[in-house]
A and B are shown apart, each in its own frame.
Chain A
Amino acid sequence: MLLILSEEQKEHLRFLISLEIDVILEFARISLDFILKGSSNLKILQAAAQKLGVDINIVKNGISGLQHVFTESSRLMIGEIDFQDSVMTLGFSKEVISALLQLYLENRKEVRNILLEMTLAIPHYHELEWRFDVELASRSLRHQTNPVIIMKLHTKEGEKNTADILQTDPVNLIHLTTELENAMQEMKTAYCRRIVRNIK
């Protein structure tokens, strides 16, 4: 699968072709930095524009063009050859292409992690703390021996952390554990493995 770029994006990237390889790579590093850190630093852009003697908007467009190349390729999980071919159509030299490929492969995992965080968030398991108590007495009944397991379940939803305090008794705890173990085992069954193999 090749990367599809609009004419406008191609136009933005064309400016980069005329530059030296080191400068192009610096641009690529800056654009990856912006993706990973999530902010665009105007000062860096201004400094670059001054050095090259061009308008700041041209620099900005070049950077965002590269950003688009990296995020789209990561999003689509584009393979090495397809990445090279896609970049080649833009007119970069062989050396630049292989250096860009290197950068892409190095950073793909992190870019994907960032993209994954941006997707719809449902409460996610984070941590479980537990404690084992024996209830001995209460207002209405003395002389008890009641085993109780108290649990604090931490879940995360995007940036929001929640903690639920729950309790259970030994029989239910064992039931809960075996049931979740079954859930885990289910992924190893022939059926699930076959489905996973066929989704590529």
Chain B
Amino acid sequence: MELSSVAIEGVGLCGDSTRVGDRAFRSLVQLTLDILLKKKSDDCLANDEDIISVDNASLKQGYAGLVSLILEAVKMDSDLSTISSMLEDCKWATDRIEYFFKCFQDCKPEMEALLSRFDLFAVLLLKLTPEIRCLDSLPLRDYRKRSCGKLSYLFCIYIYIRTGSSFPHIVDVDWRLDYYIKNNQMEKVNKPMYLITLKTEESGKPQGKDVQFSCSMEQLQDLVGKLKDACKSIERAAVN
């Protein structure tokens, strides 16, 4: 794990009990994680009564150091011993390291989800109670429909702050079955016709575009056949 010298200095400041007192340290760690997870905005740093004791310059550099440390640790999936040796180099006391680890590990799955594109399922499965866990086989849309409180909050993050590059992600499908009877050129067409809309979501956009097309029975059979092939090959890959 590598941090810039400015960031290391900042992390060092957080460990320095003359600049950042114990209570301020605890609040700072908790608030930094909350801000990174978009649960709070960064104004809360200025308003916290414990943090008020820290001078502004140290707070700014310390906060920046902590942010770099957390993001880098999540990004590289660093193990605790690596982080620990780094924090010891920055002269953190053992109780501060332990407190940091406790908060960090609670938030890590959510952080990973934020940094990845769409593996929120994994996070939910790790974190949620068994009643909600039974939803794990549901597609994203149904999750959102049935979710409440923290869950829906997580999905807000998922949809609006999804990072990384990706193609429009299919999350649902609408279909409609028509019986095509005639048109201005021709009588007695009499064929079933499907109108299919694929609902998508895209990173950085509140609303994905819909992909709409029509198909005849034979074409739908072809499409479903191909999708089934894809499902099968994924099942095989999962078994291996």
Contact = CB atoms under 8 A, between A and B. Distances in A.
Q: Do A and B bind? A: yes
Interface of A: 74-77, 112, 115-116, 118-120, 122-125, 128, 130, 132, 135, 138-144, 146-151, 153, 155, 164-177, 179-181, 183-184, 186-187, 192, 195-196, 199
A149 B230 contact: yes
Contacts of A122: 213-214
7 contacts: A75-B186, A130-B226, A141-B74, A166-B200, A167-B168, A174-B231, A176-B198
A146 B118 contact: yes
Nearest to B177: A186
Max chain B Cβ within 10 angstroms of own Cβ: one of A141, A144, A155, A164? A141
Contacts of A155: 213
**Interface bin, chain B:** 35 or more
B116 A124 contact: no
Nearest to B175: A183
B105 to A, nearest CB: 16
Main SS of chain A's interface residues? mixed
B185 A75 contact: yes
Given A125-B214, A192-B177, A199-B179, A150 B192 contact: no
A58 to B, nearest CB: 28
A15 B223 CA distance: 52
A76 B237 CA distance: 53
Given A138-B116, A138-B164, A180-B175, A143 B170 contact: no
Nearest to B112: A141
Interface stretch (B12-20, B39-47, B91-99, B137-145): B137-145
Interface of B: 74-77, 112, 115-119, 121, 137-140, 163-173, 175, 177, 179, 181, 183-190, 192, 194, 196, 198, 200, 211-215, 217, 219-224, 226-231, 233-234, 237-238
Max chain A Cβ within 10 angstroms of own Cβ: one of B77, B117, B190? B117
Nearest to B165: A138
A118 B119 CA distance: 46
Contacts of A187: 177, 192, 217
Closest 4 CB pairs of A and B: A125-B215, A141-B115, A175-B139, A168-B170
A195 B217 contact: no
Contact of A167 (B77, B139, B170, B172): B170
Contacts of A171: 121, 137-140
A184 B221 contact: yes
A172 B179 CA distance: 28
